[in-house]
Structure 1
Amino acid sequence: MGRLVYTGIGSLDGFVADESGDFDWSAPDEEVHAHLNARDSRVVAELYGRRLYDVMHVWQTYGTGPDATDVERQYGEQWRGRPKRVWSRSLAAVTTPLTTLHRDFDATQVRALVERADGDVSIGGPDLAAQALRAGLVAAVEYYACPVVVGGGTPWLPSGLRLTLRLVEQHRFGNGVVHLSYDISPTTSVR
């Protein structure tokens, strides 16, 4: 049986994009990227909201060129090899192999997908993750806190959500990023 894990990279004040939609300040350096690759080696499927899929689908070709770094090449191979599901009401079609488009979030369907998985299922995109968090489907949250405060924008976690967390891992990187990994207590009552 798998588990659903919500991972984000964002500012210290909890935003994955600033008020203008920019997130360049969160681009991982070589050390952070290598850590992400190692962590993602446990991922067997990815669930995306439309905006995150729009960002991530570049990995279909990115990291394949002769100037790609080893961590870019490794992540690209991982990304291209995993099945992906995208939830969007506005996207006409998906453009990458191993990718399925869904219109409406169905918690029962997602729960069944995760239960059948033989590893972690990653969920990304704050709007999609909010639906899964509120449905009680997410087993763990991981956050890469960048050493920047942006003051507003797209929050990593939805407002009004209350979870009881247990810290299972922490790691500090040379560039000031801190990775925090928490299991969500099964006794959490989501509101």
Structure 2
Amino acid sequence: MGTLIYAANVSLDGYLEDEGGAFDWSEPDDEVHAFWNEHERGIGTSLYGRRMYETMRVWETDDWLADEPAVVREYAGIWRDADKVVYSTTLQEVTTARTRIERAFDPEAVRRLKEASDADLSVGGAALGAEAFRHGLVDECVLLVYPVLVGGGKQALPRGVRHDLELLDHRRFGNGVVLLQHAVRSAA
């Protein structure tokens, strides 16, 4: 059975992006990128909302990667090797391999996907992550907390949802980013 992991880069005040939609403050250095590479290596299926998918699909092509560091080029291959499920009512087609569209988020279908999976699954994007938390589907939460206050924007974690957590790991990267990894133990 796979573990469903919500993973995100987050500002210290709890946002994925600022009020203007920018997230440039969370661009990883090589050390943080290497962490994400190792984390994503264990993911067999990524669940995305439309906006997160549209952000991530850049990894499908190599044309921009030639001058990038090896750690960035490596991530492209890791991303391509995972299956992707995009939840969208508006997206007409996908432009990446190993990708399918689902028109609605069905918690029972996600439970079955977890049960049938030999690898872990990830859920990306604030809205989709919130739905997964609300339905008790998230098993683990991995947050890289960046040393920046953005003052508002898209919240990383849902309001109105409470779960008991258990700290699994924490670590400080050289650039001041802090990893917080928690198991989701129960709905409180």
Same fold (TM over 0.5): yes
Q: Which amino acid aligns with 1:118?
A: D
Residues paired across the two proteins, number:
188
Consecutive unaligned residues in structure 2, runs of 5 or more: none
Counterpart contact for 1:143–1:181, Cα < 8 Å? yes
Q: Which amino acid aligns with 1:137?
A: L
Of the structure 1 ranges 63-72 and 78-87, higher mean CA displacement relative to structure 2 is found in: 63-72
Aligned twin of 2:97: 97
Q: 1: distance between equivalents of 2:52 and 2:78?
A: 17
What fraction of aligned residue pairs are identical, expressed as a percent?
45
Specify the alignment match of 1:31 in structure 2. Answer: 31
Structure 2 CA distance, aligned partners of 1:135 and 1:75?
Answer: 30
- 1:188 corresponds in structure 2 to 187
Q: What pairs with 1:16-165 in structure 2 (closer than 5 Å)?
A: 16-62=16-62, 65-165=65-165
Amino acid at match of 1:81: D
* Cα distance in structure 2, aligned partners of 1:63 and 1:148: 32
Q: CA distance change for structure 1 residues 151 and 64 in 2, over 3 Å: closer, same or farther?
A: closer
**CA RMSD, Structure 1 to Structure 2 (Å):** 1.2
How many angstroms apart in 2 are the aligned matches of 1:5 and 1:16? 16
User: For residues 150 and 66 of structure 2, what CA distance do their matches in structure 1 show?
Assistant: 35
TM-score (ref. length: structure 1): 0.95
Q: What letter is aligned with 2:126?
A: P
SS at match of 2:67: coil
SS in 1 for 2:80: helix
- AA paired with 2:48? Y
CA distance in 1, matches of 2:22, 2:102: 26
